[in-house]
Amino acid sequence: MTLKKRISITISFIFSMLYAFSALIIFWSFSTFRREEFVDRLEEKAFNTTKLLLEVKEVDNTILKLIDQNSIHKLLNEKILIFDHQFKLIYSSLDDSTIGWNEQQLKELKTKKKIYRVKGAQEVVGLFYTHQEKDYYTLIAAEDIYGNSKLNFLKEVLLILFILGTALVWLSTYYFIRKLLFPLDLFQKQITTMSLGDELILMDERSQNDELTLLTKAFNQMMRRIQHSYNAQREFTSNASHELRTPISRLILQLDNVLPQVHQPEITKKYLQNMSNDLNQLSELISSLLILARLNTASLPNDWQPERIDELVFDAFDTLKSNFPEFSMHFNLQDTPDLPLEYPAIKPLLDIVFINLFRNAYLYSPDRKVHVQMNKTPGHFLEVIIENQGQDPLGMTEDALFKPFVRGQNAANINGSGLGLHIVKRILDYHQVHIHYSFSNGNHTFTLNFTQHKNH
């Protein structure tokens, strides 16, 4: 999950929780206020009715019922019951509503002086009243339809506002966070497209004195240090290669001039020949290390062109053939239309790939022969299979085979640096070409899949 989404979700979640908590407080407060107000109205009505019945002698049950029936403050489904000290009903209002009661509830009322219960839509209030040293019990029940309708309306309004508010906050928060962090997105895109090279590319530093500007300045400072180290490494590599290759080339040239002389003893010729082989191997090692250094520092040519892979194969074979006349190749193209032979590549690098693979085939095969097969994959891409006979590398895994300075047990008597296949792997990775190695029935097989065309 991206930083923008995490910040947006966190802020929106906190707001939603605060809004929900506030809505619950508002709903609970209004509900409590409605209940207390309605209970006060019931108590006032019960008290007045009881007082009229007991204290005003001119008012009897019939008159009281008429007063109660015509009262402008009459509540919905209102019912009043008054009991004397013997729990005998002495007054009941004129309506069809009922109040469930028993003697035990009246005794409880005497103890608590006041009770409140809810039975369905009815709200019941009981009051204990003493008059002339006699106990009286009043039960009153009614429905607060208007208060409950207002409470339900408030609940619906709060719920709708919560849904709309939450959606609005989530969308607006994501929009503003995305807008605020947009410079960070540009920063990330510029970083991903940067690479080391001859020209130092720095990030644009904004005028605002915020965290992103400080990060940009720190990044530019780091890039200057990296560029300085890169230039120092490249300069050292160039100077070291020149200083090492020049004397080695001179020694190889001098040995090539001395070896043809026939008057040299056999022991001396053999010694000089071994020395020449060691110097050639050292020269190849230096060349391989230089190629790896260029791959590691991205100091590579940038002339990407569509190249025909079959022509690169034949060019590599001709190069090996000039050094090893006994080397031979069996080449076969799949008989299929539209065989994708072209691939965007840097020609000098792919030349190294096929030369190293063919050199391996020559050194490790007893018949000095390589088989090359080019096929069209089901995905309409090119597949190149390079196969040669040889001994089993004995437990050498594919990952280990492409590591630097790693050689199989079948290479014990063969000169080499252990860098050839590693260089092949690095160059093919740079070209987005997948290579796979397998050994079966005495054959080494390298399969190259040119599946992804890199745009340059």
* One pLDDT digit (tens) per residue for the chain, 456 residues: 677 788 888 888 898 899 999 999 999 999 999 999 988 888 888 888 888 777 765 555 555 555 555 454 567 777 888 888 888 888 887 566 677 778 888 888 888 888 888 888 888 889 988 888 888 888 888 888 888 899 999 999 999 999 998 889 888 888 888 888 777 777 777 777 766 555 667 777 777 777 778 888 888 888 888 878 877 777 777 677 777 777 888 888 888 777 777 576 778 777 877 787 777 767 777 776 777 666 665 556 667 889 999 999 999 999 888 878 899 999 999 888 888 889 998 888 898 899 999 988 998 899 999 999 999 888 888 999 999 998 888 767 888 888 887 776 666 567 666 778 888 998 898 888 999 999 888 899 999 999 865 555
Together in a domain, 44 and 137: yes
Together in a domain, 22 and 129: yes
Per-residue buried b or exposed e for 401-440, using 16+ beta carbons within 10 Å of the residue's own CB: bbebebbbebbeeeebbebbbbbbbbbbeebebebebebe
Together in a domain, 251 and 374: no
The CATH number linked to 249 is 1.10.287.130
Assigned domain for 182 exists: no
**Which domain range does residue 357 map to?**
305-450
Together in a domain, 258 and 326: no
φ/ψ of 370, rounded to 5, equals: -125, 145
Q: Which pLDDT value is given to residue 72?
A: 42
Beta-bridge mates of residue 194: none
Together in a domain, 282 and 340: no
User: What pairing do the DSSP bridges indicate for beta strands 342-345 and 305-308?
Assistant: antiparallel
Q: Which pLDDT value is given to residue 205?
A: 74
Q: How far is 291 from 295, CA to CA, in rounded Å? A: 6
Together in a domain, 7 and 143: yes
Assigned domain for 201 exists: no
Tell me if the pTM is above 0.75: no
Together in a domain, 264 and 332: no
| Three-point CA angle 190, 196, 197, nearest 5° | 115
Assigned domain for 339 exists: yes
Say how many CA atoms lie within 13 Å of 426 toward its Cβ: 21
Number of domains in the chain: 3
Together in a domain, 341 and 287: no
Beta-bridge mates of residue 328: 369
Q: How far is 340 from 451, CA to CA, in rounded Å? A: 10
Assigned domain for 184 exists: no
Q: Which pLDDT value is given to residue 409?
A: 64
φ/ψ of 55, rounded to 5, equals: -105, -25
Of 272, 295, 318, which one is at a domain's C-terminal end?
Answer: 295
Q: How far is 285 from 231, CA to CA, in rounded Å? A: 23
The CATH number linked to 45 is 3.30.450.20
Together in a domain, 140 and 276: no
Together in a domain, 36 and 134: yes
Q: Which pLDDT value is given to residue 294?
A: 67
Per-residue buried b or exposed e for 100-124, using 16+ beta carbons within 10 Å of the residue's own CB: ebeeebbeebeeeeebeeeeeebbb
Residues 149 and 138: beta-carbon distance below 8 Å: no
Helix (H), strand (E), coil (C) string for the chain: CCHHHHHHHHHHHHHHHHHHHHHHHHHHHHHHHHHHHHHHHHHHHHHHHHHHHHHCCCCCHHHHHHHHHCCCCCCEEEEEEEECCCCCEEEECCCCCCCCCCHHHHHHHHHHCEEEEEECCEEEEEEEEEECCEEEEEEEEEECHHHHHHHHHHHHHHHHHHHHHHHHHHHHHHHHHHHHCHHHHHHHHHHHHCCCCCCCCCCCCCCCCCHHHHHHHHHHHHHHHHHHHHHHHHHHHHHHHHHHHHHHHHHHHHHHHHCCCCCCCHHHHHHHHHHHHHHHHHHHHHHHHHHHHHHHCCCCCCCCEEEEHHHHHHHHHHHHHHHCCCCEEEEEECCCCCCCCEEEECHHHHHHHHHHHHHHHHHHCCCCEEEEEEEECCCCCEEEEEEEECCCCCCCCHHHHCCCCCCCHHHCCCCCCCCHHHHHHHHHHHCCCEEEEEEECCEEEEEEEECCCCCC
For 217, 356, 391, the CA distances from 329, given in Å and listed in that order, are 57, 14, 19
Assigned domain for 108 exists: yes
Of 229, 263, 295, which one is at a domain's C-terminal end?
Answer: 295
Assigned domain for 169 exists: no
Q: How far is 213 from 204, CA to CA, in rounded Å? A: 9
Assigned domain for 370 exists: yes
For 77, 90, 277, the CA distances from 122, given in Å and listed in that order, are 8, 22, 110
Q: Which pLDDT value is given to residue 413?
A: 64
Of 260, 295, 330, which one is at a domain's C-terminal end?
Answer: 295
The CATH number linked to 341 is 3.30.565.10
For 31, 237, 244, 254, the CA distances from 250, given in Å and listed in that order, are 102, 20, 11, 6
User: What pairing do the DSSP bridges indicate for beta strands 382-389 and 443-450?
Assistant: antiparallel
Assigned domain for 320 exists: yes
Together in a domain, 143 and 218: no
Together in a domain, 282 and 407: no
